[in-house]
């Protein structure tokens, strides 16, 4: 069933990884999806990866939706304002905003204290993770409010409960990912009087293009990476969080989640969707109960 047919979504930061998986699954549910990012077939961003927004739009089309690629630097207010004006002009509505902008992996210095971490890199990381989301919401929400039941999804890394108890290996990364969760809570308060909702959603350990490359595997042989990292057994495809967000967007009672921090694994249990291999990986429960507890890698009961 095309649960999102007639709906218009903006996936900000959809060039690759989770953003690409989200856009594809929204397309599979029948939505018109604007996919944004900085890398096109004609120009790469500072991130230096080969994936493009045009490829993502094509995946949306093949899945059954309508994908529209727009090159946007979400740190540039004028570009974001022009994007929203285009969506209003072409569609007259916006039902779903997914703030998935990131692109800061190359800036992280793991287990390096703030006084040794590159200040320039750290502050750039915060701008990419926080400023981009605020700028996009500032311009997009007036259009989304007109729907009367719009949804904003702030994509982050880690649940509120996990991040509250655990240092995320860099003060800048820690701030970036916990700030996005707080952003969803704040937006929830502002959107509630208008019948709209905001949530934070985290994937588990995603098998993104970059992650597969790091382990020297492909999606069809990803389990070969378990020899290097046994806990990779809990990993999931980027389509899994896509199915989570498509389920939220298609839920007529989505306001019950307003302001909450959710995970792909948790939402899979509620809505019944599965990853491409038919499993339901619950990464954050696994990480807390198995990986962080120092137990041998074993996903039994967790997927």
In the chain, which residue ranges form alpha helices assigned H by DSSP?
17-28, 53-63, 77-91, 119-126, 132-145, 160-165, 171-191, 209-215, 238-249, 264-271, 283-286
Residue 278: phi and psi, rounded to 5, are 90, 0
What span, in angstroms and rounded, lies between the C-alpha atoms of 86 and 74?
A: 15
251 SS3 class: coil
What span, in angstroms and rounded, lies between the C-alpha atoms of 31 and 25?
A: 9
Length of the chain as a residue count: 303
What span, in angstroms and rounded, lies between the C-alpha atoms of 188 and 151?
A: 10
Pairing of strands 8-12, 96-99: parallel
Residue 206: phi and psi, rounded to 5, are -85, 140
150: DSSP letter: -
Active-site annotation, residues = 173
Scored b (16 or more CB within 10 A) or e, 216-251 reads: ebeeeebeebeeeeebbbbbbbbbbbbbbbbbbbbb
Name beta bridge partners: 37: 71
């Amino acid at each position: 069933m095309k649960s999102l047919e007639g709906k218009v979504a903006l996936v900000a930061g959809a060039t690759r990884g989770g953003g690409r998986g989200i856009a594809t699954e929204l397309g599979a549910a029948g939505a018109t999806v604007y996919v944004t990012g900085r890398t096109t077939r004609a120009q790469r961003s500072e991130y230096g990866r080969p994936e493009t927004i045009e490829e993502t739009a094509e995946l949306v089309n093949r899945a059954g939706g309508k994908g529209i690629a727009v090159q946007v630097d979400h740190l540039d207010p004028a570009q974001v304002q022009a994007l929203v004006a285009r969506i209003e002009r072409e569609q007259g509505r916006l039902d779903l905003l997914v703030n998935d902008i990131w692109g800061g992996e190359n800036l992280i210095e793991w287990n390096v204290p703030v006084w040794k971490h590159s200040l320039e890199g750290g502050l750039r990381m915060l701008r990419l993770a926080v400023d981009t989301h605020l700028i996009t919401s500032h311009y997009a929400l007036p259009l989304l409010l007109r729907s009367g039941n719009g949804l904003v999804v702030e994509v982050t890394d880690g649940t509120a409960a996990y991040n509250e108890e655990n240092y995320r290996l860099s003060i800048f990364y820690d701030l970036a990912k916990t700030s996005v969760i707080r952003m969803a809570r704040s937006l929830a308060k502002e959107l509630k009087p208008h019948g709209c909702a905001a949530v934070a959603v985290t994937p588990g350990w995603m098998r993104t293009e970059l992650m597969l490359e790091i382990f020297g595997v492909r999606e069809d042989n990803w389990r070969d990476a378990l020899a290097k990292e046994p806990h990779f057994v809990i990993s999931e495809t980027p389509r899994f969080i896509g199915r989570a967000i498509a389920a939220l967007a298609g839920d007529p009672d989505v306001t019950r989640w307003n302001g909450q921090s959710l995970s792909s694994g948790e939402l899979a249990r509620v809505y019944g969707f599965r990853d491409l291999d038919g499993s339901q990986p619950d990464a954050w429960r696994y990480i807390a109960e198995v990986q962080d507890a120092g137990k041998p890698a074993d996903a039994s009961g967790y997927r």
